[in-house]
Amino acid sequence: MRVLVAGAAGMLGQDVAAAARRRGHDVAAMTRTDLDVTDPASIDRAIAEVRPEAVINCAAWSAVDGAEDDERGAMAINDTGAALLAAGAARVGASVLYPSSDYVFDGTKGTPYLEDDMPDPINAYGRSKLGGEVSVAAANPKHFIVRTSWLFGLGGGNFVETMLRIGAEQPEVLVVSDQRGCPTATADLAEGMVQLVGTDAHGIHHMVGGGECTWFEFATEIFDQAHMETRVMSATTEMMARKAKRPAYSVLGHSREDAILLQPWQHALRRYLDDRELTAP
Ligand SMILES: NC(=O)c1ccc[n+]([C@@H]2O[C@H](COP(=O)([O-])OP(=O)(O)OC[C@H]3O[C@@H](n4cnc5c(N)ncnc54)[C@H](OP(=O)(O)O)[C@@H]3O)[C@@H](O)[C@H]2O)c1
């Protein structure tokens, strides 16, 4: 299959392009310079050049706090830009996959959010991702909306890297223990997404690492697995004031029978730390 990956220099984009190649697809991995999702002419050029059968849109405004200061900027990429690319794909009969986020939910449910639960974002980033979901679905009938959460991958800054850096510099770290979610390795997510685009199971999917935890528990596991002595101290969300509100509970579950399940997050973390060693300069 001819697969166009937009945002191919991003953390997820790098793994998606690699996973698609491993599956034997003919992959056009396009960075922002090759394909700017906010520029219709750039989309037209890329679609005409590649003539894809599937488009995986890893281009995104991913700065959650930054979106509070520039919601229009986030919307331009996550909503309008995603819709333009989805429509470009539709014009050549290609499907489109749009990664979305647990942050489309308000975090008050208390049991895992299912694909058909009603979203109600509590921050600007979440609104831009929900806008993208709706616009992509309207622009291309062959759409896959894949909600995921708490990503860590070798191709970008992420929570694991932050913890390892802080742990190397100081004996203790303060981490919130009142937000629960599902850590997800981009390596696993990318495999799942590439598997999904080979099907006709269109619509909304939840795709996250197996299990759930708080950021505090995630940090504790990181230092355990990395054999570091760093002490993790529990903090509340209120103590760690951030610009954007975060949902307290954003565990994603499944109501679809064809849901693609990923390995438990602790196993994914082990593999991440091993791969990180192998690729260390
Ligand atoms: N990270 C998470 O924890 C998380 C959680 C849930 C969902 N997600 C979703 O997962 C997807 C991938 O996230 P990620 O963490 O891989 O993000 P990322 O590392 O920030 O990658 C996003 C990529 O998009 C590119 N981009 C930005 N604006 C663009 C434009 N106008 N046209 C084309 N490319 C553009 C960026 O390029 P520049 O570097 O040049 O700006 C970057 O390479 C996103 O849809 C995100 O919303 C992420």
- 16 Cα to the center of ligand 1, angstroms: 12
> Does ligand 1 come within 6 angstroms of the Cβ of 150?
yes
- 204 Cα to the center of ligand 1, angstroms: 19
Separation of alpha carbons 114 and 122, rounded Å:
18
In order along its 281 residues, the chain shows pLDDT tens digits of: 999 999 999 999 999 999 999 999 999 999 999 999 999 999 999 999 999 999 999 999 999 999 999 999 999 999 999 999 999 999 999 999 999 999 999 999 999 999 999 999 999 999 999 999 999 999 999 999 999 999 999 999 999 999 999 999 999 999 999 999 999 999 999 999 999 999 999 999 999 999 999 999 999 999 999 999 999 999 999 999 899 999 999 999 999 999 999 999 999 999 999 999 888 77
CATH topology classification for 2-158+183-211+251-264: Rossmann fold (3.40.50)
What sign results for the dihedral spanned by CA atoms 83, 201, 207, 194?
A: negative
Report if pTM > 0.75: yes
Separation of alpha carbons 232 and 166, rounded Å:
11
- Mutation to probe ligand 1, out of 4, 5, 12 (largest number of atoms < 8 A from CB): 12
Separation of alpha carbons 111 and 115, rounded Å:
13
Residue given tokens 């090759």 in the structure block: 34
> Does ligand 1 come within 6 angstroms of the Cβ of 66?
no
Residues 6+ apart with CB under 8 A from 150: 102, 159, 181, 182, 183, 184, 208, 209, 218
**Domain-by-domain residue ranges, the chain?**
2-158+183-211+251-264
Separation of alpha carbons 230 and 142, rounded Å:
47
